[in-house]
Amino acid sequence: MNKHTHAISEDVSQLAEDARALMAATADVAGEKVAEARHRLSAALERGKEIASNVRAKAVAGAKAADETVHEHPYQAIAIGVGVGAVIGYLLARSCARNRD
């Protein structure tokens, strides 16, 4: 996992932890609005867990498919990587040249 993805994962985990703490802190508070807010928060946490699980499963499946494809066609994968790198290098060099003028 790269730094940005790891930071987002930590932020989401902290948000879920804070939400659970808020629910625990308001457990003894009576009132229809508080109960409704707790219910909505609980439902949102569950949906968030499901979405994170689905995203993680899709990412793993995509990574496995990419790995299999690269192993089946290594030379084509190298050629594509070199081509993409050349295009990015060209665009960066062009951008740097414009900034110098």
DSSP 27: T
Q: What residue type is 12 in one-letter code?
A: V
In a domain, 9, yes or no: yes
pLDDT score, position 2: 65
Segments forming the whole domain that contains residue 37: 3-72
In the chain, how many domains are there?
A: 1
pLDDT score, position 69: 92
In a domain, 97, yes or no: no
In a domain, 87, yes or no: no
Measured over the CA atoms of residue 93, residue 94, residue 98 and residue 101, the dihedral's sign is: positive
0.85 cut: is pTM over it?
no
pLDDT profile of the chain (101 residues), mean per 10: 70 78 74 77 82 87 93 94 96 87 64
pLDDT score, position 76: 94
In a domain, 23, yes or no: yes
Q: What residue type is 82 in one-letter code?
A: V
Judge contact between 45 and 20, C-beta under 8 A: yes
Q: What residue type is 99 in one-letter code?
A: N
